[in-house]
Amino acid sequence: MVEDIYDPLNEYISTFKAKFKKVAEETFDRLADEAQVDVEANRETCRQIYEDEARLEDVSSRIVWWTVLCVILWICVVAGVALVYVKWNEFPMEHLLLIAGAEALLLVFLLMKVHPVLKRLRSQKGELVEKVGALKQDAWNQMAALNRLYDWDIFTRMMSKTVPRLEFDPYVTTQRLADLRTTYGWDDSFNTERSVLYAHSGLINGNPFVICRTRKMEMGQKTYHGQRTIYWTTTETGPDGKTRTVHRSETLHASVTAPYPEYIERTRLIYGNTAAPDLTFYRKPNGLAGKESSLRFKWDRFWLRRKARNLENGDFAMLTNEEFEVAFNTSNRNDNQQYALLFTPLAQQTMMALLQDRTEGYGDDFDFDKNRMINTIMPLHIQEMELDMNPDQYRSFDFEKARKDFYEINARYFRAIYFSFAPLLCVPMYQQIRSQQDIYGHDMEAKSSFWEQESLANFWGQEHFEHTYCVTPCILKTTAKAQGDGNTLINVTAHGFRSESRMSYISKLGGDGSWHDVPVKWYEFLPVEGNGQILMQEDNQQGDVTMSQTQRMTHISDVLQKTHLDVYRRHIASKV
């Protein structure tokens, strides 16, 4: 029987960290055995590569120094000739002969030593570049079979094997989104202004989750600056009683603030659970866990106590554990009873440990938004990570480097994703309640959702869909239409902006007492739409989800260059 995880930090330290390392090593060894890589031959090839690269670096460095010497000597020769030519009638003959002799020696040294050395070094460099290139090609050929075995869902398989309560879907299906919407009250308005860059879905303890990165456009403001220098004259009386004309100048500055599209990318963990179905709250990281003696902690505790005594705040009442209340500040919650059922003393204890640990975990670095049955975790530590799981990052010509990178990359992914789930794992009720679909089972519709289609379009690149005059990132939105041959035609609309140069003249009062128009150049951003189409083929012939993440992303990367996926680029000039 698989046990629940009630102390995610301790479980990671004592069990999962070492277990994942073992799983990753076994996975790599299995792939290497399947690929039948000649490890010793690759080691020898790589040894030669690194030796020749070191020699190449040394030769390149020597070429630089000899080139510098060559340039300096030629400058001396040219300067000497010019000096003799200009001072021919001024210098004594013995000085001219001395300069001529030095020039001759420099020329001999340049022609007999410097240039031959440079020629030899450049020839040696060319041979080394060619040799290193050939050796690397041999090394890539030795590793080709292994590099082909890496796939898009290799990490999710390892993570599921390490954490048994965690299951990943092959890809985000329409049924998964339908479950979140109908069972847990997911609001589709979330997607109205966003484009999905990538998404992974699955189950944790039988309840659905989605890890997604989205791009959203928000119209902000940008300030443009301009300046104009004015000149004028004044008449003044000097100390001697005489009048004089004084020329003055001043630089006038002006600015124009105009709308400017700003694009925000966020990675979220969205989790559905029917526990505490009416509870809502939102908390942000504050870094106060374990800092009970700090002035800020005491100040926040004072205000929470005051808020709890205020009867106008409805159902809010502080828990006995005031340290938890301050560190995990959710005073905006709407149901204190359901909150207490959710955050039991055990949950409070494990959550506090999680918030304070920055050695194995990431400490207090996450937003936690509970909107009834939808929980959204937004950790800071995954905002800068690319979690699309592209297998290109594992590929290498060096077997030993590939082994090292395979573990380090996946260990970094595992830590980041595990501690994104950790705030949810701290709550025992979330693991004790499972959905009816998980208990009784149901068939998952093997059809990709629009989230997957947007991910596909974004992976392929907005340059294939954007308007000709678009100068900003795009929000890609898709619609799908089934074709008679079993393919799906995805229509992609790229929402972006073109820019138009504008000039405004702002009146400013100058030191001459007159008003002057200061020119300010700025840009107006006008919406444009580009369009394109993707013809997608899904392997859904079995009745269940047979098209794995591997197959799907092979369609994307392989298939981008072949025939499974055809992209027809169309730019439609829209009137603005």
**pLDDT per position as a tens digit, 129-176:** 999 999 999 999 999 999 999 999 999 999 999 998 899 998 898 889
Q: How many domains does the chain have?
A: 3
Do the domain assignments include residue 559? no
Question: Is 139 part of a structural domain of the chain?
Answer: yes
Helix axes 345-356, 399-425, angle to 10 degrees: 140
- Provide the sign of the torsion angle of the four alpha carbons 437, 189, 533, 392, taken in this order: negative
234/350 same-domain check:
no
Mean pLDDT of 452-471: 94
Per the structure, the complete domain to which residue 280 belongs is given by: 197-217+266-440
Domain contains 201: yes
Residue 570 above 90 pLDDT?
Answer: no
For residue 333, how many C-alpha atoms fall within 13 Å in the half-sphere facing its CB? 28
The answer to the question of residue 485 being in a domain is: no
Q: How many helices (H) and strands (E) does the chain have?
A: 16, 11
| Residue 453, in any domain of the structure | no
Does one domain contain both 230 and 273? Answer: no
Amino acid occupying residue 258: A
Q: What b/e sequence results for 509-540 when a residue is b if at least 16 CB atoms lie within 10 Å of its CB, and e otherwise?
A: ebeeeeebebebebbebeebbbbbbbbbbbeb
Sequence-ordered list of residues with C-beta below 8 angstroms from that of 416, at least 6 positions apart, any chain = 379, 381, 382, 385, 387
> Domain ends where: 440, 473, 506?
440
Residue 281 and residue 256 in one domain: no
Q: Do 324 and 366 have their domain in common? A: yes
Q: What is the pLDDT of residues 54-78, one digit of tens each?
A: 999 999 999 999 999 888 888 888 8
Report the SS3 class of residue 323.
helix
Same-domain status, 235 and 276: no
| Ramachandran sector of residue 279 (left: φ over 0; alpha: ψ -120 to 50; beta: rest) | beta
> Which of 440, 473, 508 finishes a domain?
440
Closest by CA position to 391, among listed 185, 526, 520, 556: 556
Question: Are 207 and 230 found together in one domain?
Answer: no
Q: Amino acid identity, residue 379?
A: P
Of the candidates 414, 440, 466, which is a domain's last residue?
A: 440
**Separation between Cα atoms, residue 453 and residue 534, nearest integer Å:** 9
- Do 453 and 174 touch, CB atoms closer than 8 A? no
DSSP E strands: which ranges in 91-170?
166-168
Is 59 inside any structural domain?
yes
pLDDT tens profile 92-142: 666 666 777 777 787 888 888 888 999 999 999 999 999 999 999 999 999
Q: Is the dihedral of CA 454, 460, 463, 464 positive or negative?
A: negative
| Backbone angles phi and psi of 205, in degrees to 5 | 55, 35
Residue 538 falls inside a structural domain: no
Task: Answer yes or no: do 427 and 316 share one domain.
Answer: yes
Report pTM.
Answer: 0.84
Specify whether 302 is located in the same domain as 433: yes
Residue 567 has pLDDT above 60, yes or no: no
Structural domain includes residue 432: yes
391 and 436, same structural domain?
yes
Residue found under tokens 């001219």: 96
CB atoms within 10 A of CB 551: 20
Is pLDDT above 80 for 572? no
> 546 — phi, psi (to 5°)?
-90, -20
Residues 234 and 337 in one domain: no
Residue with tokens 């000899």: 66
Q: State whether 228 and 131 are in the same domain.
A: no
**In whole angstroms, what is the distance from residue 205 CA to residue 385 CA?**
25
Q: Rounded CA gap, 304 and 290, in Å?
A: 17
Based on the domain organization, do 239 and 293 belong to the same domain?
no
